[in-house]
Chains A and B, each alone.
Chain A
Amino acid sequence: MSNLLLFPIIIPLFFAAILMMFPKNVKLQRVLAVVGAGAALLSALVLLAKVNTDGVQAVTLGSWPAPFGISMVSDPLSALLVVTASILVLLVIFYSIPTIGLRREQSYYYPAVLFLMVGVNGAFTTGDIFNLFVFVEVLLMASYTLIVHGGEKPQLRESIKYLLVNIISSALFVAAVAFLYSVTGTLNMADLAVKIPQIEETGILTVIAVMFLVVFGFKAAIFPLYFWLPGSYYAPPIPILALFGALLTKVGVYAIMRTYTLFFTMNVGFTHELLGIIAILTIFAGCVGALAYFDVKKIIIYNIIIAVGVILFGVAQLNQPGIDGSIMYLIHDMMIKAALFFLVGIIAVLFGTTDLRKMGGLIKTYPVLGWVYLLTAFGLAGIPPLSGFPGKLLIIQGGFEGPQFWGSIVVLATSLIVLLSSVRIFVYAFWGQPVETVPLKKSTFNQMFIPTVILVAMTVVFGVGAELFMPLISGAGEVLLNPSIYIDAVLKE
């Protein structure tokens, strides 16, 4: 019993509440937002260290015995994701300071970011399926605020659709929870993992599993349900886009990962094969979009969808390399997507447009930016020894060991398309005839560029030093593959 795992949720909540008192004092807003996110990151790091030494941490709110109270559980996977999310929120706040604009900063921008952090960290930590719904609503509410923040016309138009899609998926979530409760009589994830194998009627449970796949698929943007993502993510400014691209879809991916390894394992032949097929279709859909557009933001947005497919393909294999690989690729993808959006944001600011065809020749004036971008693009495509490589290698290995070897071939082949789509930005924006750029103050450029470089450096360390992180990753994979570790930690408090 340790309250430590609640700190990454409570600290940003506390700071967000304080920040709402004085929206006009921008200096104090910035300082307190950084302090809040930094403190949350610090507590998340302490939590990760504790989980790493002492095993899975669990706390049941109100000291009720485990299946009755709401459990919060921190296993290595959720601790790792909380740490990654906290790092990203902190860097996004640094990146927002020069880019988001005074008007937005004065209208509750930082509180909304911190509330988003509350929801994301909570969703990663919770051990109760209804509480997961609540935390998802917390982060959605913050994301509604952020997506419409500033009230520009495209933002208003797209946020209506974003809101509508999410309301429908929330209603389906409640319906799916209702069915699950009527069949099992419990909503605690550890308790579900005990009760579900005892139920002989696997048919109805398979239906419920697919319903949850639909619900989480809306959030994660899997194949038929990704239609809302490119339009909605296109509308908000770059720092918000980076936050969404790095964190929001990943909550859906995490939820699928958790439910499909912990308790929806009664009919693996159907549910996981379906997941694998959908994952491959998601990759194809993302590839088409990533090649079709000449807009830097769109290209990276479609790359989010490709990555979701790759991660879920690893999860669908349900073997050790597949799961380890998908955890590694998930963390890599959160960081690399934020880094790419940061870089694309700088490029878009320099040219004053997001259209690739109006860009060119940036390598002469900003050589360092160019090489950092190329490094990130290679990391995205998974060129060894950069950070996309070890995760993808393990996922492909998992696919070849599992029943869906053809999926591994698709993942391999589409890596080339990912490389093409991201290098295309490099070719158009950095090579060719120099185009007039918008004059940008050196200090502003540095304020944007330094958080980006820090993030890219972290992805490089994560890739080159993969061996260092591997014990953590395989520890997380072990808990996913052996639900009994998770169950014991929660129910034997």
Chain B
Amino acid sequence: MEIIMSVAIGFLFMAAVYLMLSKSLIRIIIGTGLLSHGAHLLLLTMGGLGGNSPPVVAHGVSVSDYADPLPQALILTAIVISFAVTSFFLVLAYRSYQELGTDNMNLLRGTEDYE
């Protein structure tokens, strides 16, 4: 299972890098989304996949054999943050498109004010 997860994570990172290297702003934003998804899955995998262990301590489940809850808490936090940042990025991209009239990163180079 860990192997499959690792391949999936690697594919997500690869796709993210490919998208982020393109010129169109919207592709870059999708790339950042994939990148954070990859990072979250990595967090899940690295925390140890629980298998059949119960997720909560209930009647008849001792503390030693339930699944580690920390990775889930970390991922939840990271998802919320990446959601907020992605939505901010989308708004920023839309506003810059309105103001600057382009979403092509090649035209957004900034060295015109001085030599």
Contact = CB atoms under 8 A, between A and B. Distances in A.
Interface of A: 130, 133-134, 137, 140-141, 144, 148, 151, 153-154, 156-161, 163-164, 167-168, 170-172, 174-175, 177-179, 181-182, 187, 231, 235, 293-295, 298, 355
Contact of A171 (B39, B45, B88): B39
Given A144-B88, A163-B92, A156 B99 contact: yes
Contact of A174 (B43, B45, B108, B110): B43
A178 B39 contact: yes
B79 to A, nearest CB: 10
B42 A148 contact: no
Contacts of A179: 46
Nearest to B97: A156
B50 to A, nearest CB: 14
Contacts of B39: 171-172, 174-175, 178
Interface residues of B, number: 36
A182 B96 CA distance: 40
A163 B99 contact: no
20 contacts: A137-B81, A141-B84, A144-B88, A158-B110, A161-B108, A164-B20, A167-B36, A171-B35, A174-B39, A174-B40, A175-B43, A178-B47, A181-B43, A181-B74, A182-B46, A182-B48, A235-B110, A295-B114, A298-B114, A355-B114
A156 B96 contact: yes
Interface centre among A130, A167, A168, A181 (most CB of B within 10 A): A167
Contacts of A182: 46-48
B77 A178 contact: no
B80 to A, nearest CB: 10
B81 A148 contact: no
Contacts of A294: 114
B74 A159 contact: no
Interface in B58-92: 70-71, 74, 77-78, 81-82, 84-85, 88-89, 92
